[in-house]
Amino acid sequence: MLGLLLLPLVWGPAASSAAAQETFRSSVEAVNLSVSVRDSRGRVVRDLKQTDFEVLDSGRTTPITDFWSGDGPISLGILLDISGSMAVSGNMARARQAVEIALSDMRYGDEAALFTFDSRLEEVVPFTTDLDRVKRVSLEGEPWGMTSLFDAIAETARSAAERTNRHRALLVITDGVDTGSTRTAPEVSGIASAIDVPVYLLTVVNPVDHPGGEFEVLDGVGRAAATSATLADLARWTGGNLRISSVPAHTVEGLNDLFIELRHQYVITFEPGVSVGWHPLEIRTRKKSHVVRARGGYMTEPARVGR
């Protein structure tokens, strides 16, 4: 079993002081986790039961109060980079093709929303089951402006988290060049993990920029390698994953794998801890060779219940 990388939270709000006559409790009623499990060969594990899991909250085992598994409808927020850097080397065409491939992997009952970003975030199509509507508008517009990748992820993740489907995720399609954000990768991953939306990043690149690829010309210290490391950390902290695509076959394989994982996530619920602040989480299974991914923790804040 591969333990989760736990993210130290640096942006958490300071605890408020309470008057003597007031009582407080945690503002979080229950913590819901979307958990994906793979075996040692990278295959999605679909047949686990509640008793196969252990939840460690701040290092202590906590009881699971609700458990759900199964193939259900998906709510997928698609965040498409339309920044100026995407106009280079055909990356915009690769990104638009990725949107089409993602939508073709969706089924009746699934829902999707399309967001775009450059120097600002725009909701182009709100969440809808009319997937053709999303496909039609995704081919419009030209790239311009600056990239605000981390800011856009933070805002879009909140929208995806509000959906009622059990399977929810954010798919970010970008070249990974972030020149306009006001938040760092750890800050954004902390926000995304706290609202339980796994972020899956598909980074589109020219074949010569593909790390480890057949046509790679970078030496491991160039832009592609540095960018990939940053995005990989972001994805891992949220319980998601990262794929790099330079040819259509990469995109098809990566998105097919994404949807298999999404449709067979486990949803685990437990009561939050009583202490205020950041609670790091680790999810384990009985089989040590399993690779478990989920968000790295959750935040509790004081909430007034009376005088």
Tens-place pLDDT, residues 49-79: 999 999 999 999 999 999 999 888 999 999 9
pLDDT band with cut points at 50, 70 and 90 for residue 151: confident
- Written as one letter, the residue type at 88 is V
- Regarding whether 227 and 284 lie in a shared domain, the answer is no
Domain around 288: 23-70+271-306
Rounded to the nearest angstrom, the gap between the alpha carbon of residue 11 and the centroid of all alpha carbons in its chain is: 19
Rounded CA gap, 168 and 77, in Å? 8
Rounded CA gap, 93 and 290, in Å? 37
- Regarding whether 137 and 56 lie in a shared domain, the answer is no
| pLDDT at residue 300 tops 90 | no
- Regarding whether 196 and 59 lie in a shared domain, the answer is no
| pLDDT at residue 106 tops 70 | yes
- Regarding whether 155 and 138 lie in a shared domain, the answer is yes
- Regarding whether 281 and 244 lie in a shared domain, the answer is no
Instruction: Indicate whether 11 belongs to any domain.
Output: no
pLDDT band with cut points at 50, 70 and 90 for residue 296: confident
* pLDDT of amino acid 85: 79
Instruction: Indicate whether 2 belongs to any domain.
Output: no
Instruction: Indicate whether 12 belongs to any domain.
Output: no
- Regarding whether 149 and 33 lie in a shared domain, the answer is no
Rounded CA gap, 94 and 173, in Å? 9
- Written as one letter, the residue type at 44 is V
Non-local CB neighbours of 104 within 8 Å, separated by 6+ positions:
none
Question: First vs last Cα of the chain: how many Å apart?
Answer: 47
Residue 217: helix, strand or coil by DSSP? coil
CATH value at residue 223: 3.40.50.410
| pLDDT at residue 27 tops 70 | no
- Regarding whether 81 and 189 lie in a shared domain, the answer is yes
Q: Which DSSP string do the residues of 69-89 spell out, in sequence order?
A: ES---EEEEEEEE-SGGGGGG
Instruction: Indicate whether 237 belongs to any domain.
Output: yes
- Regarding whether 89 and 115 lie in a shared domain, the answer is yes
Tens-place pLDDT, residues 110-132: 999 999 988 888 899 999 999 98
Residue 177: helix, strand or coil by DSSP? coil
- Regarding whether 237 and 257 lie in a shared domain, the answer is yes
Instruction: Indicate whether 5 belongs to any domain.
Output: no
- Regarding whether 171 and 56 lie in a shared domain, the answer is no
Instruction: Indicate whether 173 belongs to any domain.
Output: yes
Task: Please tell me the total count of domains within the chain.
Answer: 2
- Regarding whether 248 and 106 lie in a shared domain, the answer is yes
